[in-house]
Amino acid sequence: MNKYILLRKWSGLVFCIIIMSSCGHKKDEYHSINDKIEAESKDYQGTSITSDGYIDHVKTIEITEGNHTFLIPERKSQLQSYSCMECHTKPLTEMQKNNKSYKKAHWNISLNHANENTMNCISCHSGKNMDNLHSLTGKQIDFNNSYVVCSQCHTKQFDDWKGGAHGKRIGSWAPPRASLTCVNCHDPHKPHIASKWPARFNTEKVKERK
Amino acid sequence: MSDNNKKWFSLNLNFSKKQKSESDSCGCGKTAGGCNSGENNDLNQDDFIEAAVNASIGEERRKDGFEQVFDVKMDRRSAFKKLTASLMIGAGAVSTSCSMIAGEETKEKAQIDWEEQFKGNYKLMTDEEKQGTVDRLVRSYQMRTGKNISMSSKNAEEDVLFGYAFNISKCQGYMDCVNACVEENNQDRNSEMQYIRIHEMKDGKGFNFNESDDNYYHEVPAEGHFYMGTQCFHCDNPPCVEVCPVQATWREEDGLVVVDYDWCVGCRYCMAACPYDGRRFNWSKPEVPETEVNKNQHYLGNRMRKKGVMEKCTFCVQRSRSGQNPACVEACPTGARIFGNLLDPESTIRWVLENKKVFRLKEDLGTEPKFWYFMD
């Protein structure tokens, strides 16, 4: 009789241990992936992986917007005939008058950005200082920081871009972060991205599904 | 080769040049078991095969088809003869490699084949063993094609958990990602295997995969449609891993769900278990034109696969573990694809998860995919 009670006691104890140990199993440590990310990133120390070597082919500048500091491609050295003052020695009105004495330029640029009521050349370009862009209130903006011009209207895209939800990282996911700036993807004179044909068509899939 | 606590049996054929000078002894170590060094060295390979074939089929040689199988007189003596013959053929492979007549390269090939055939599961290997198999695969490729590849066995980095976000409002269905993926990951060109599917979905119908088209060919984006990409979601609780009977697929520490192509037996349980159509099977031997082979490879990633094994997206492990973005992320011209380290609070992927309205596919299954969708 005594033996039987002892056996029951022990089996109960063993049962309890099994239950408890299964609760502490690593798999059930977190309720969801979000809990896991939050918990495991609390003492994040950084990794040895960096974007070095993957962003070197681009000349970059560092910008700080809000809480975000990151690299964007330098722009001015990429412009075909910067500085503008090399040609724009006289006011625009005068250059437009004397057609023959000045070389024709910018003939291939047509503005297809918003509508005529909203935008024309001088919405972004300064007639007084060709080497810089300007804001709606006439403040000078460096060509390297052209995103500041865009951000005046496209505020939502600007917020997403700062955070990293809009636009594209250069080369690497690792820090330091380098992202393309607005004009690297969008032509500011016609920012809409054209439709095209898909890069690939799977002929085998067609056969399989017949 | 030298370490004593190896997890699998190894054959020491000693193909190194030193052995050549000791012309008298066969290079075969005792472990080989079946090396009959004395007699067979005199036979050259053709003679040996001839003898083996004679011994095994003998008089049935002129018969063919099922006659060979069914119309056979089999007494005790011939049965023994056949058994001995097949044993001899087996031993022949070893003896060829031991033979002084066979070239160094043949021996090395046999050594590599043996080691590769009987190596353990990659998941259980030490770093040296991983390096060993990678070195063998590189050498084997070099001997077969004369071309050099680089293959990595880089382990998961600490404090890294890879995650992916896909912007549905940005994707335009260009399929540049699919192209880049096929090229990066050496996928079979004949069967046109693709890890990524871009589903063209009708506006207002929700995520209806039955009515969507993942193989469209017209100018995109099409009016009234949106595009949604799927691939392996690298679930944190992956059902495909649970069902694998041989543990040939597992979740790495950095969250990547990977396959050991040499351990996979091709049962396709994982394919059936995956709720996202993330896995692909090689029905035929994968072929990639030599000029198009991506030679920057990882053991768990884009190295050449064989017939009858599973494969899938690895978030380009050969790229991501060294800091690069996966090929699809890099190729996307719209910036719809965002990749990064979920454990880095400063990473862009974390900003997306914390500031955009994100969701995942079939979240209720509890698979915890690390692939989020969001809209502008």
pLDDT (tens digit per residue) in B128-157:
999 999 999 999 999 999 999 999 999 999
Mutate to test the interface with A, among B343, B370, B371, B374 (most CBs of A within 10 A): B343
A87 has pLDDT over 90:
no
**What pTM value is reported for the model?**
0.79
- Structural domains of chain B in order of their starting residue, each with its CATH number: 18-118 (no CATH), 162-374 (3.30.70.20)
- N-term to C-term CA, chain B: 56
User: Considering only alpha carbons, which residue of chain B is nearest residue A32?
Assistant: B368
Contact call for residues B323 and A173 (beta carbons, < 8 A)? yes
User: Considering only alpha carbons, which residue of chain A is nearest residue B200?
Assistant: A198
- What are φ and ψ of residue A193, in 5° steps? -90, 125
Residues 6+ apart with CB under 8 A from B215: A201, A202, A205, A206, A209
Mutate to test the interface with B, among A173, A204, A205 (most CBs of B within 10 A): A173
To the nearest whole Å, the CA of B36 is away from the closest chain A CA by: 51
B337: which DSSP letter?
Answer: E
To the nearest whole Å, the CA of B6 is away from the closest chain A CA by: 29
**Separation CA A26–CA B175 (nearest Å):** 39
Residue type, A19: I
| pLDDT digit string, tens, across residues B266-293 | 999 999 999 999 999 999 999 999 999 9
Contact call for residues B349 and B164 (beta carbons, < 8 A)? yes
| pLDDT digit string, tens, across residues B3-44 | 456 666 666 666 554 444 444 444 444 344 344 444 444 556
Decide if A165 and B330 are in contact by the 8 Å CB cutoff: no
**Separation CA B161–CA A7 (nearest Å):** 47
Residue A31 forms contact with B (CB below 8 Å): no
pLDDT > 70 fraction of chain B, expressed in percent and rounded:
74
Please count the residue pairs, one from chain A and one from chain B, whose beta carbons lie less than 8 angstroms apart. 151
Higher pLDDT, B59 or B223: B223
Q: Given the cut 0.90, state whether the ipTM is greater than it.
A: no
Decide if A41 and B340 are in contact by the 8 Å CB cutoff: no
User: CA dihedral in degrees (B342, B346, B349, B353; nearest 10)?
Assistant: 90
H/E stretch holding B106 reads helix B104-117
Q: Is B159 helix (H, G, I), strand (E, B) or coil?
A: coil
Instruction: Give A177's contacts in chain B (Cβ within 8 Å).
Output: 348
Kindly write down the DSSP assignment for every residue of A56-103, as one continuous string.
Answer: TTS-EEEEEETTEEEEEE--GGGSTT--GGGT--S-HHHHHH-TTTS-
Decide if B324 and A172 are in contact by the 8 Å CB cutoff: yes
Q: In which region does residue B158 sit, left (phi positive, over 0), alpha (psi from -120 to 50) or beta (all else)?
A: beta
pLDDT at A92: 77
Which of B165, B192, B348 lies closest to A202 in CB terms? Answer: B192
Decide if A165 and B345 are in contact by the 8 Å CB cutoff: no
To the nearest whole Å, the CA of A1 is away from the closest chain B CA by: 45
B337 has pLDDT over 90:
yes
Going by their DSSP bridges, the two strands A133-134 and B150-152 should be labelled as unpaired
Task: Give Cα A92 to chain centroid, integer Å.
Answer: 35
Q: Which two tokens stand for residue B131?
A: 């390096």
Which of A174, A196, A200 lies closest to B178 in CB terms? Answer: A200
Task: Give Cα A64 to chain centroid, integer Å.
Answer: 14
Q: Which residues of A, range 137-176, sit inside 8 Å of B by Cβ?
A: 156-157, 160, 163-169, 171-175
| pLDDT digit string, tens, across residues A158-201 | 999 999 999 999 999 999 999 999 999 999 999 988 899 999 99
Q: What is the CA radius of gyration of chain B?
A: 26
Q: Is B95 helix (H, G, I), strand (E, B) or coil?
A: helix
CA atoms within 13 A on the CB side of A205: 14
Decide if B220 and A202 are in contact by the 8 Å CB cutoff: no
- What are φ and ψ of residue B350, in 5° steps? -65, -35
Instruction: Give A51's contacts in chain B (Cβ within 8 Å).
Output: 323
Higher pLDDT, B300 or A90: B300
